[in-house]
């Protein structure tokens, strides 16, 4: 009972957040002549979409690094698996010839989207249902494939100690990247070329008969999926399994002595984290509208790791906040550092292409060295507590 | 036959270049228990410095300058990014190392503008030579001998000098050696200095044989050198050298296989597969000591 009362404000908070996203996205349709920021083409929405995707991956990495104490650097590899699973399952059969033109078509003509469109029809409400179902199943399968491979690789590598585990998972991600770029598998993975033509976020915008967008949902969809997945991870962390994970993080030997099966729980954390990294990878493919092995390098893993560190290792809400800050800074707010700027007639020195990333990495180093707790440390934002505080304050005032 | 010789020759030389980087990893890991992710990027920065300095200065000045500045860089990184975290958990130091690597790569992108830079032609090293009917560069021949010479000097340093003894003591037991009056910080600095100097030598040899340097050019050789260090048993210098030669040779063999099989994309993946295999079957590596956990 206590648990449900505690989590109730969280659900309300998430629901309000999702509603706000829909509102924000459609603001420009209702109120004309808004500033450029609210137009659908504004960087605001790019940032929101990317951050929604990345926050899921960051939280999944935090589950492993922050809550179970397993230092894994394989996140990009599992994202790659998820992205490719989603892409291969979702490219419509009519598109396949064109996408795989270098290899003379795809090895299998199956597409989830076609299957469901065959059942529900491809237009109107039937098309919408087909689209949603196909996407949902493809996302879950993307997670499952990533989870399955993480199980296979977990059997040997989870026995390793911290830094060896890091380098082994990093290596595994590199192996996956090489396999997916292999020309011999071109009929499935399209070799080193990108797979495109599958439904992306913008396909979720509701259009009327003449093709005009009635209701934009392209930012709402990644938010919804990420929020659901993060919610599941939070529930897991708060369960008895989550407590077992934390006990492993704090002291393996003590945990084992208390009857926590080390291998079982490590494996569980690893597979679940990879599952959500896979879903995150699929969302990433939807975000960039293509799937290409080249994108999922170890730099991506480092980026996500740094986000987790900035947010605070061991804090889910910290990871989410840090993701939004990180993505907003790198994609939008610090963009001006990359081009020449003038204060009056004075040209600000140093500003040139690439300077943004230098500033960025210095900031990250400062955080790593001097604020090793990150934004949140290992605390969480407590919506219920916040509400209570606010209501108390207003009571006092009246 | 000629083809086989040329593949083997270049394999040995690539292996030698990896060995020079791998020693830096293995020394640092032996003492700090830290995978110095930034080491590969120090190697890349040394390469870039080589390009910029040789453009304006004669080789007799620029190459020693590259060596000195790389050493300064390695020293600074240790003092600025690792020393403040001496008492922090190992994971934080590793994250700091990743942060440094990110910083070096981004700074290199900023300075070069992200363009691949071609390495200068160094007289003698870049000249071609005829070995058993195959044309190669002198660097290919020189590398293994130079590596062996440097490794010999290094083992002498570690086994015969006072600093070397201190390094061995610190790698055995951090706390006790501190109690014995060893200045931990200066020993660690010496380790980083040696590692960076060898990486600088490695960069001159490696990039002479390489078309261009990009800001990420250091990451992959760095990781491979680390795998070599793990393969040979981390903390062991001969192990790292043997591991590096083995990986270099295997990699060039895979690259040299008939193009119809199209397996050259796996030349990097092979290294990591080797890593996972060695970690499963012999986690302490070829010459490493088995670690025991005290409860």
Q: What is the mean pLDDT of residues A223-229?
A: 93
Please report the pLDDT score of residue A308 as a whole number.
Answer: 92
Q: What is the CATH number of the domain that holds B50?
A: 1.10.3470
Q: Which domain holds residue A236?
A: 2-397
The shortest CB-CB distance from A162 to any of B88, B90, B102 is to: B90
Q: What is the pLDDT of residues B87-126, one digit of tens each?
A: 888 888 888 999 999 999 999 998 888 788 888 888 777 7
pLDDT exceeds cutoff 90 at A277 = yes
Q: What is the pLDDT of residues B268-295, one digit of tens each?
A: 888 888 888 888 888 788 877 666 655 5
Please report the pLDDT score of residue A274 as a whole number.
Answer: 96
Q: What is the pLDDT of residues A290-327, one digit of tens each?
A: 888 888 988 899 999 999 998 988 889 999 999 999 99
The owner of tokens 């199943």 is: A137
Please report the pLDDT score of residue B77 as a whole number.
Answer: 95
Angle formed at CA B50 by CA B48 and CA B53, multiple of 5 degrees = 110
Q: Which residue of B has its CA nearest to A254?
A: B295
Q: What is the mean pLDDT of residues A355-370?
A: 88
pLDDT exceeds cutoff 60 at A259 = yes
Is residue A349 exposed (0-12), middle (13-18) or buried (19+ Cβ within 10 Å)?
Answer: exposed
Residue B290 lies in a domain: no
Residue B291 lies in a domain: no
Q: Do A132 and A224 contact (CB within 8 A), yes or no?
A: no
Q: What is the pLDDT of residues A387-396, one digit of tens each?
A: 677 777 777 7
Interface of B with A in 208-247 (CB under 8 A): 216, 219, 223, 226-227, 230
Element of type H or E holding A2? helix A2-30
Q: Do B70 and B196 contact (CB within 8 A), yes or no?
A: yes
pLDDT exceeds cutoff 90 at A385 = no
Please report the pLDDT score of residue A398 as a whole number.
Answer: 61
The total domain count for chain A is: 1
Structure tokens at A202: 């913008």
Q: Would the CB atoms of B107 and A65 count as touching at under 8 Å?
A: no
Please report the pLDDT score of residue A145 as a whole number.
Answer: 95
Q: Would the CB atoms of A171 and B275 count as touching at under 8 Å?
A: yes
Q: What is the mean pLDDT of residues A202-231?
A: 84
Please report the pLDDT score of residue A5 as a whole number.
Answer: 57
Q: What is the mean pLDDT of residues A76-82?
A: 94
Q: Which domain holds residue B193?
A: 2-122+129-281
Q: Would the CB atoms of A306 and B107 count as touching at under 8 Å?
A: no
pLDDT band at A6 (very low <50, low <70, confident <90, very high): low
In chain A, what residues touch B226 (CB-CB under 8 Å)? 167
pLDDT band at A243 (very low <50, low <70, confident <90, very high): very high
Is residue B54 exposed (0-12), middle (13-18) or buried (19+ Cβ within 10 Å)?
Answer: buried
The shortest CB-CB distance from B295 to any of A167, A253, A352 is to: A253
Phi, psi torsion values for B73, nearest 5 degrees: -60, -50
The number of CA neighbours under 13 Å toward the Cβ of B190 is 19
Best to test chain B binding among A102, A167, A309, A363 (most B CBs inside 10 Å) = A167
Angstrom distance (rounded) from CA B202 to CA A82: 38
Q: What one-character-per-residue DSSP string does A183-208 give?
A: GGGHHHH-TTSPEE-S--GGGGSEE-
Q: Per mean pLDDT, which range of A33-42, A57-66, A278-287, A389-398 is the poorest?
A: A389-398
Q: What is the mean pLDDT of residues B27-49?
A: 90
Angstrom distance (rounded) from CA A125 to CA A131: 10
Distance from CA of A356 to the nearest CA of B (A): 9
Residue B114 lies in a domain: yes
Of B246 and A13, more confident: B246
pLDDT band at B248 (very low <50, low <70, confident <90, very high): very high
Q: Would the CB atoms of A171 and B98 count as touching at under 8 Å?
A: no
Look at residue A31 and give its three-state secondary structure.
coil
Look at residue A196 and give its three-state secondary structure.
strand
Name the residue among B47, B4, B23 with its Cα closest to residue B249.
B4
A164 CB neighbour count, 10 Å cutoff: 19
Percent of chain A scoring above 70 in pLDDT: 96
Element of type H or E holding B137? strand B134-137
pLDDT exceeds cutoff 70 at B64 = yes
This complex has an ipTM of: 0.86
Distance from CA of A206 to the nearest CA of B (A): 41
Q: Would the CB atoms of B226 and A167 count as touching at under 8 Å?
A: yes
Please report the pLDDT score of residue A1 as a whole number.
Answer: 40
pLDDT exceeds cutoff 50 at B231 = yes
Residue B238 lies in a domain: yes
pLDDT exceeds cutoff 90 at A285 = yes
In chain B, what residues touch A163 (CB-CB under 8 Å)? 33-35, 90, 94
pLDDT band at A225 (very low <50, low <70, confident <90, very high): very high
The total domain count for chain B is: 1
The number of CA neighbours under 13 Å toward the Cβ of B134 is 15
Beta strands in A201-292 (DSSP E): 206-207, 213-215, 290-291
pLDDT band at A247 (very low <50, low <70, confident <90, very high): very high
Q: Which residue of B has its CA nearest to A299?
A: B102
Percent of chain B scoring above 70 in pLDDT: 97
């Amino acid at each position: 009972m206590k648990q449900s009362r505690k989590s109730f404000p969280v659900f309300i908070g998430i629901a309000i957040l999702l509603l706000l996203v829909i509102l924000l996205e459609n603001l420009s349709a209702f109120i004309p002549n808004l500033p450029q920021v609210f137009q659908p083409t504004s960087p605001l929405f790019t940032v929101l979409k990317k951050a929604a995707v990345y926050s899921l991956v960051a939280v999944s990495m935090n589950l492993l690094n922050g809550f179970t104490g397993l230092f894994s650097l394989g996140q990009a590899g599992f994202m790659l698996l998820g992205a490719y699973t989603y892409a291969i399952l979702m490219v419509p059969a009519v598109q396949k010839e064109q996408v795989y033109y270098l290899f003379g078509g795809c090895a299998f003509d199956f597409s989830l989207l076609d299957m469901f469109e065959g059942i529900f029809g491809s237009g109107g409400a039937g098309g919408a249902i087909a689209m949603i179902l196909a996407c949902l199943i493809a996302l879950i399968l993307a997670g499952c494939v990533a989870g399955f491979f993480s199980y296979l690789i977990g059997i040997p590598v989870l026995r390793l100690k911290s830094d060896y585990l890091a380098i082994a998972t990093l290596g595994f991600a590199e192996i996956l990247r090489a396999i997916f770029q292999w020309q011999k598998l071109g009929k499935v993975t399209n070799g080193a070329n990108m797979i495109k033509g599958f439904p992306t976020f913008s396909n979720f915008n509701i259009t009327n008969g003449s093709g005009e967008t009635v209701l934009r949902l392209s930012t709402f969809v990644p938010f919804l999926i990420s929020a659901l997945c993060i919610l599941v991870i939070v529930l897991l962390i708060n369960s008895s399994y989550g407590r077992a994970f934390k006990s492993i993080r704090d002291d393996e030997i003590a945990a084992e002595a208390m009857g926590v099966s080390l291998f079982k729980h490590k494996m569980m954390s690893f597979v679940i984290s990879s599952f959500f990294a896979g879903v995150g990878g699929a969302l990433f493919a939807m975000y960039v509208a293509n799937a290409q092995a080249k994108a999922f390098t170890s730099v991506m893993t480092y980026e996500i790791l740094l986000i987790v560190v900035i947010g605070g290792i061991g804090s889910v809400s910290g990871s989410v906040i840090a993701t939004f800050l990180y993505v907003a800074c790198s994609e939008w707010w610090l963009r001006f550092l990359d081009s020449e700027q003038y204060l009056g007639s004075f040209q600000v020195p140093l500003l040139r292409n690439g300077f943004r990333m230098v500033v960025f990495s210095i900031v990250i180093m400062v955080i790593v060295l001097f604020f090793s707790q990150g934004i949140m440390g290992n605390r969480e934002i407590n919506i219920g507590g916040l509400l209570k505080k606010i209501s108390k304050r207003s009571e006092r005032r009246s | 036959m000629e083809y086989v010789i040329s593949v083997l020759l270049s394999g040995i030389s690539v292996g030698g270049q990896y060995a020079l980087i791998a020693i830096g990893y293995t020394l640092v890991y032996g003492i700090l228990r830290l995978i110095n992710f930034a080491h590969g990027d120090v190697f890349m920065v040394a390469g870039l410095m080589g390009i910029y300095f040789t453009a304006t200065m004669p080789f007799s000045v620029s190459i020693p300058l590259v060596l000195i500045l790389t050493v300064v860089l390695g020293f600074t990184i240790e003092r600025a990014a690792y020393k403040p975290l001496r008492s922090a958990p190992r994971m934080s130091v590793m994250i700091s190392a990743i942060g440094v690597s990110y910083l070096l790569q981004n700074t290199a992108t900023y300075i070069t503008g992200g363009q691949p830079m071609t390495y200068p032609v160094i007289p003698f090293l870049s000249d071609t030579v005829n070995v058993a009917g195959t044309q190669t560069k002198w660097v290919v021949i020189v590398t293994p001998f130079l590596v062996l010479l440097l490794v010999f000097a290094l083992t002498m340093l570690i086994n015969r000098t006072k600093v070397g003894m201190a390094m061995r003591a610190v790698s055995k037991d951090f706390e006790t050696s501190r109690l014995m009056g060893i200045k931990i910080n200066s020993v660690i600095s010496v380790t980083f200095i040696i590692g960076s100097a060898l990486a600088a030598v490695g960069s001159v040899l490696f990039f002479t044989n390489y078309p261009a340097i990009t800001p990420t050019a250091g990451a992959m050789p760095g990781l491979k050198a680390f795998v070599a260090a793990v393969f040979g048993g981390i903390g062991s210098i001969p192990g790292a050298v043997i591991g590096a030669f083995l990986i270099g040779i295997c990699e060039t063999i895979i690259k040299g296989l008939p193009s119809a099989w199209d397996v050259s994309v796996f030349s990097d993946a092979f290294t990591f597969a080797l890593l996972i295999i060695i970690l499963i079957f012999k986690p302490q590596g070829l010459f490493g000591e088995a670690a025991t956990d005290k409860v």
